[in-house]
């Protein structure tokens, strides 16, 4: 048998197998998200057969949007689409800035502010986090022990880099996960964990 034909068969089989596996995961994801949408009274949307669905609405008092998109975190920019969680927090923060996983460093550096919050003891952000703020002085009262603990937790979820984008007008928590969340229980558990932190982070 021709060696090139064997190679072609192998490559074709591999590509077909990968495509089938990806489609099965997508179907599981759609089912899982639809289950969560019905249980948690969220809006479910699936616009195309071969595209991930989306969820939106209010979960435990926090406005959210969940969808699949290219990441903006530097570490994963070339790694394909991720599950994006965006939580709109209820109140603005005292100053403008961003705090995020180190994967967001390049994105955060694009903000035209230079000051950096460090903190001490129970109000110290973890070394794995990166931040830039317009006014540290205005932000110091915001960084309570409880809020710093919540930030350290939600911005350090494994394989899910996150960033808090804030100003005097609005505050947004964005999490980019490599997990398709094709299990409804796992998705709901993640949402509970994230919204618990979001409530503490809110002013």
Tens-place pLDDT, residues 136-170: 999 999 999 999 999 999 999 999 999 999 988 89
pLDDT at 2: 63
Burial profile 57-66: b = 16 or more Cβ within 10 angstroms, e = fewer: eebeebebbb
Longest dimension (CA), the chain: 75
Number of domains into which the chain is organized = 1
Q: How far is CA 6 from the centre of its chain?
A: 42
Confidence of residue 17 (pLDDT cuts 50, 70, 90): very low
Burial profile 155-175: b = 16 or more Cβ within 10 angstroms, e = fewer: bebeebbbbbbbeeeebbbbb
Task: Classify burial at 19, counting beta carbons within 10 Å of its beta carbon; exposed 0-12, middle 13-18, buried 19 or more.
Answer: exposed
Structure letter (DSSP) for residue 94: S
Beta pairing, strands 129-133 & 97-101:
antiparallel
Q: Tokens for 37?
A: 């949408």
pLDDT at 115: 92
pLDDT at 122: 87
pLDDT at 163: 98
Q: Of the given ranges (9-18, 86-95, 117-126, 144-153), which has the lowest mean pLDDT?
A: 9-18
Q: Which residue carries 């759609």 as its tokens? A: 30
Q: Across residues 13-42, what is the average pLDDT? A: 77
pTM: 0.85
Task: Provide φ and ψ at 159, rounded to 5°.
Answer: 60, 20
pLDDT tens, position by position, 42-56: 999 987 666 889 999
Structure letter (DSSP) for residue 141: G
Confidence of residue 177 (pLDDT cuts 50, 70, 90): very high
The average confidence (pLDDT) of the chain is: 87
Tell me if 129 sits within 8 A of 100, measured CB to CB: yes
Give the structural domain span for 65.
3-201
Percent share of the chain, pLDDT over 70? 85
pLDDT tens, position by position, 63-95: 999 999 999 987 545 567 899 999 999 878 889
């Amino acid at each position: 048998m021709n060696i090139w034909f064997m190679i072609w068969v192998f490559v074709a089989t591999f590509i077909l197998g990968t495509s089938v596996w990806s489609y099965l995961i997508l179907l599981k994801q759609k089912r899982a998200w639809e289950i969560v949408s019905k249980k948690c009274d969220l809006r479910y949307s699936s616009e195309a057969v071969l595209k991930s669905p989306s969820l939106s609405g209010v979960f435990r008092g926090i406005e959210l949007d969940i969808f699949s998109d290219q990441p903006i975190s530097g570490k994963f920019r070339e790694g394909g689409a991720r599950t994006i969680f965006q939580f709109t927090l209820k109140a603005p923060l005292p100053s403008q800035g961003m705090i995020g996983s180190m994967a967001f460093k390049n994105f955060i550096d694009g903000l035209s502010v230079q000051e950096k919050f460090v903190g001490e003891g129970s109000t110290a952000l973890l070394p794995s986090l990166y931040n830039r703020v317009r006014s540290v002085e205005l932000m110091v009262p915001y960084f309570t022990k409880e809020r710093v603990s919540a930030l350290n937790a939600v911005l350090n979820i494994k394989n899910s880099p996150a960033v808090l984008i804030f100003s005097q007008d609005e505050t947004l928590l964005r999490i980019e996960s490599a997990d398709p969340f094709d299990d409804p229980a796992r998705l709901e558990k993640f949402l509970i964990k994230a919204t618990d932190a979001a409530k503490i982070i809110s002013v």
